[in-house]
């Protein structure tokens, strides 16, 4: 029972199976829903699409599902039936006649089983955006013409307004369809497409039907290469659809490129490959153009132009040449190498000029740049690089001759993907921007067998000069301070200089720099005196080069030329002097001989060499050496004695001079002090005169004041005197009366006293006269003092002195004489 069940064929709806009758060879199609028991001669089979044969299989593997195409899909049916009918559902179907080798496109919705030998491929309908397209091919032109209008095509209503349709994007004429013809179904015209019978949609190499067109923004472009070799350039903004025979040209996987930005210091080198006319200018094939930013700031390539590149260089940039520097450039047409000097931005036209470099030989480097090891190392490295580049160039040429592109590479170019999904232009883009490099790309450089990238620069210091010669025979002398740029064919002429002391030809120095100002040449000259004594003269010449510059380098070894000539002159002159005379005055003799006598202006004319303009303006005699030691000793001994005496005499003279100077200074000091004193007195006199004038003025002022006061006082005194006179007259009369009365009283008293005295005298007769005089004197003195004390108040009241009052009282007495004697003594003292 289990075996019978395994031989039962049960098909559900939507299933079918192929059963081969092994006795007759027929293949019967069973279509469900259906059930049947299979005989032993029935063999389940399936159609092998690769081998196109019916292969045996199990019953389960023989059961297949219907070919189902929903709405928006279609079935590509190969080997359709002649009557166009498919197997009937729910029964067994014997084989039908098929149109072997044909295929038809059946749009959905459709649902059917296949006849034995048929193949059906279910494909989704093709949805297109406005920047997408399909490539279709006519595989049967009659069917295509007949069924062209049966294609499912939905018009595109989302075409951007700012995107213009390209030429050739209109409707296709079905009557012109031909076998193998390729057509482009553009998304800007059709949004959905199902091909009709006779037309098939081609896949790209990635298996995709829908391909991307190229969307160009502003400042972008793309290139399309046709099978006939022509190129088409399209500038943005645009949506670019290729023609069926065209393909996008790619570079590094990119299909769109940015326009080339140029400025005044950059340009591109193109060659005309197709004749064209621009404005009034016509160009023919083979013409070469160098387009710079001055001509065109934004450049779009065209089919008439081919970019000329050297390596990867596309844009030529100017070279910045600072002040004092330069660049060599080769004229490709004439072969002449020129020099462009800075400051400037040098943009050579690659059609005519190519920047070149000089590589100096090690000998030139050491001679032109003495002590510059860096220049020597760099120069040698450039030479090695140049040799390696030449070897590499030869290898590349040989490889290019023997190398042929393989068939695989040619086939890859033919089958290049035309629908690359990359939409970014080379360099990247975010809006309308330019990405510029931080450093400038150097123009093409050819390395020749000479020095640096730039021109050879000679920096001349103050007081130095060089001789520049060219291969054309021209020569010129350049004197510093300045910077000189050598032309490509110019060289520096060297000179030989003798070295050492004395100067000889055994040791010479090779150099290109001639010191023309404040040069010093030292030498030792051996000469013989008149008395056959050898002397070595050490001299140092100071030399300038004057006059015409072109004569300065006429003598190759000017040092030897100078020293040889002056040696001869000095030797001849020294023969006229004895050793003692020359040793004593050798410096003056040498200087006068070489520099000449001093002129009225106190200057010497020096020694001039007409051959090369060499002028000796100063000479220093550094030493005189007598080679004979005995003569030198005698000369020194004589000189020592002479020097000793001279020193003694000099000391005496110095003492005399010192004494004279001291006395002279003393005299000057005394005279100076006297003058100072006189000046002080004069100043004091002037000051006293000034003070006297002031004092006199003050006295005059006081005198006038006092005079006026005295005059006023005089008038008052006169009036007072008159009054006093009258008073005195009255008083006088009163006093006279009183005196008369007193006189009388006094006389009376005197008489009494005389009587008493006489009596006393008589009694004292025994006393000596001297004692009497002394007692009398003492008594008189005591009396006078007593009376002065008594009369003092009277003198004050009367306005008279005590003496006057007392005198009046003692008038006519002996006391009057005493008073008179005292008065006379006082007068004598006052007079003394």
* Residue whose pair of structure tokens reads 């065109």 in the numeric block: 296
Instruction: Give residues with Cβ within 8 angstroms of 322, minimum separation 6.
Output: 342, 343
Residue segments in the chain with a per-residue pLDDT below the cut of 50 = 1-5, 160-169, 403-425, 427-438, 440, 446-451, 796-797, 799, 829-832
**656 located within any domain:** no
Same domain, 185 and 116: no
Shared-domain flag, residues 114 and 256: no
Q: Are residues 316 and 186 in the same domain?
A: yes
For the stretch 195-235, pLDDT in tens is: 999 999 999 888 999 999 999 999 999 999 998 988 899 99
| Residue 685, in any domain of the structure | no
| Rounded CA separation 348/358 (Å) | 17
**Angle of CA points 79, 81, 87, to nearest 5°:** 115
Task: Spell out a b/e string for 160-182, using b for 16 or more CB atoms within 10 Å of the CB, else e.
Answer: eeebeebeeeeeeebeebeeebe
Considering only CA atoms, give the Rg of the chain: 75
* H or E element in which residue 25 lies: none
Are 120 and 132 members of one domain? no
Q: Does residue 100 sit in the same domain as residue 245?
A: no
Q: Residue 509 to residues 370, 469, 515, 558: CA-CA distances in angstroms?
A: 12, 20, 13, 12
Query: Looking at the 3D structure of the chain, how many domains does it have?
Result: 3
Same-domain pairing of 38 and 153? no
User: For residue 401, is it within any domain?
Assistant: no
Give the tens place of pLDDT for each residue, 412-449: 333 433 333 344 445 433 233 334 444 545 555 544 44
Token pair, residue 410, equals 């040619």
H/E element, 608: strand 607-609
407 is a domain residue: no
**Ordered strands of the 534-545 beta sheet:** 519-528, 534-545, 614-626, 607-609
**Do 195 and 109 share a structural domain?**
no
41 and 98 in a single domain? The answer is yes
Instruction: Give the model's pLDDT for residue 818.
Output: 62
603 is a domain residue: yes
Q: Is there a contact between 822 and 780 (Cβ–Cβ < 8 Å)?
A: no
Q: What range does the domain containing 57 cover? A: 8-124
Distance of CA 64 to the CA centre of its chain: 85
Same structural domain, 57 and 137: no
Determine how β-strand 353-358 pairs with β-strand 445-450: parallel
pLDDT at 360: 81
* Residues 7 and 36 sit within 8 Å (Cβ to Cβ): no
Each residue's pLDDT tens digit, 372-409 = 777 777 777 777 777 776 777 677 666 655 544 443 34
- What whole-number distance in Å separates Cα of residue 808 and Cα of residue 673? 71
Which structure tokens are listed for 805?
A: 């009052």
Residue 137 sits in the same domain as residue 268: yes
């Amino acid at each position: 029972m289990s075996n019978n069940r395994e031989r039962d064929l049960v098909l559900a709806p939507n299933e079918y199976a192929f059963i081969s009758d092994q006795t007759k060879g027929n293949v019967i199609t069973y279509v469900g829903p259906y059930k049947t028991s299979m005989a032993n001669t029935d063999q389940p089979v399936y159609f092998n699409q690769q081998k196109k044969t019916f292969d045996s299989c199990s019953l389960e593997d023989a059961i297949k599902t219907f070919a189902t195409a929903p709405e928006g899909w279609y079935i590509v049916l190969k080997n359709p039936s002649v009557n166009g009918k498919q197997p009937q559902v729910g029964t067994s179907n014997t084989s039908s006649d098929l149109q072997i080798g044909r295929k038809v496109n059946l749009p959905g919705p459709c649902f059917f089983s296949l006849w034995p030998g048929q193949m059906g491929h279910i494909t989704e309908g093709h949805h297109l955006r406005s920047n997408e397209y399909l490539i279709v091919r006519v595989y049967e032109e009659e069917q295509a013409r007949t069924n062209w209008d049966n294609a499912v095509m939905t018009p595109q209503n989302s075409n951007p307004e700012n995107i213009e349709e390209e030429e050739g994007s209109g409707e296709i004429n079905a009557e012109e369809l031909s076998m193998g013809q390729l057509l482009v179904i553009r998304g800007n015209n059709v949004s959905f497409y199902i091909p009709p019978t006779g037309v098939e949609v081609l896949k790209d190499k990635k298996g995709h039907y829908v391909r991307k067109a190229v969307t160009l923004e502003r400042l972008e472009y793309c290139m399309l290469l046709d099978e006939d070799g022509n190129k088409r350039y399209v500038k943005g903004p645009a949506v670019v659809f290729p023609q069926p025979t065209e393909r996008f040209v790619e570079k590094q996987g990119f299909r769109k490129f940015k326009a080339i930005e140029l400025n005044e210091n950059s340009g591109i080198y193109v060659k005309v490959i197709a004749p064209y006319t621009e404005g009034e200018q016509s160009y023919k094939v083979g013409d070469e153009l160098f387009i710079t930013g001055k001509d065109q700031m934004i450049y779009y390539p065209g089919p008439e132009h081919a970019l000329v590149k050297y390596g990867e260089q596309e844009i030529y940039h100017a070279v910045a040449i600072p002040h004092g520097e330069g660049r060599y450039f080769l004229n490709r047409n004439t072969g002449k190498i020129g020099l462009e000097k800075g400051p400037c931005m040098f943009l050579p036209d690659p059609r005519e000029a190519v920047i070149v470099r000089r590589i100096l030989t090690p000998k030139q480097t050491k001679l032109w740049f003495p002590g510059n090891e860096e220049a020597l190392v760099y120069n040698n490295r450039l030479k090695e690089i140049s040799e390696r580049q030449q070897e590499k160039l030869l290898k590349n040429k040989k490889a290019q001759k023997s190398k042929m592109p393989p068939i695989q590479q040619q086939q890859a170019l033919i089958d290049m993907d035309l629908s690359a999904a990359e939409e970014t232009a080379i360099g990247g883009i975010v809006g309308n921007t330019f990405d510029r490099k931080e450093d400038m790309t150097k123009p093409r450089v050819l390395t020749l067998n000479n020095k640096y990238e730039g021109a050879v620069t000679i920096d001349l210091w103050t007081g130095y000069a060089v001789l520049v010669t060219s291969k054309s025979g021209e020569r010129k002398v350049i004197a510093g301070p300045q910077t000189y740029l050598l032309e490509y064919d110019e060289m520096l002429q060297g000179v030989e200089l003798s070295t050492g002391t004395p100067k000889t030809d055994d040791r010479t120095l090779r150099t290109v720099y001639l010191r023309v100002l404040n040069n010093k040449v030292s030498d030792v000259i051996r000469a013989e005196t008149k008395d056959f004594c050898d002397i070595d003269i050490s001299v140092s010449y100071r030399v300038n080069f004057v006059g015409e510059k072109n004569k300065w380098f006429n003598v190759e070894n000017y040092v030897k030329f100078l020293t040889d000539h002056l040696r001869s002159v000095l030797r001849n002159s020294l023969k006229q002097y004895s050793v003692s005379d020359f040793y004593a005055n050798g410096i003056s003799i040498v200087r006068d001989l070489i520099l000449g006598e001093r002129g009225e202006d106190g200057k010497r004319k020096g020694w001039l060499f007409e051959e090369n303009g060499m002028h000796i303006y100063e000479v220093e005699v550094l030493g005189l050496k007598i080679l004979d030691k005995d003569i030198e000793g005698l000369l020194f001994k004589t000189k020592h004695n002479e020097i000793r005496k001279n020193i003694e005499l000099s000391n005496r003279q110095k003492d005399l001079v010192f004494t004279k100077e001291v006395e002279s200074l003393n005299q000057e000091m005394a005279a100076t002090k006297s003058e100072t004193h006189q000046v002080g007195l004069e100043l004091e006199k002037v000051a006293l005169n000034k003070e006297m004038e002031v004092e006199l003025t003050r006295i005059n002022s006081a005198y006038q004041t006092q005079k006026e006061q005295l005059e006023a006082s005089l008038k008052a005194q006169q009036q007072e005197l008159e009054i006093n006179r009258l008073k005195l007259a009255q008083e006088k009369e009163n006093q006279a009366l009183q005196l008369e009365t007193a006189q009388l009283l006094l006389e009376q008293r005197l008489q009494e006293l005389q009587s008493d005295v006489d009596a006393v005298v008589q009694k004292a007769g025994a006393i000596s006269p001297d004692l009497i005089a002394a007692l009398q004197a003492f008594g008189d003195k005591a009396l006078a003092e007593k009376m002065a004390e008594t009369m003092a108040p009277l003198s004050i009241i009367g306005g008279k002195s005590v003496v006057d009052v007392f005198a009046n009282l003692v008038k006519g007495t002996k006391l009057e004489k005493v008073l008179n004697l005292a008065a006379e003594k006082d007068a004598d003292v006052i007079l003394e």
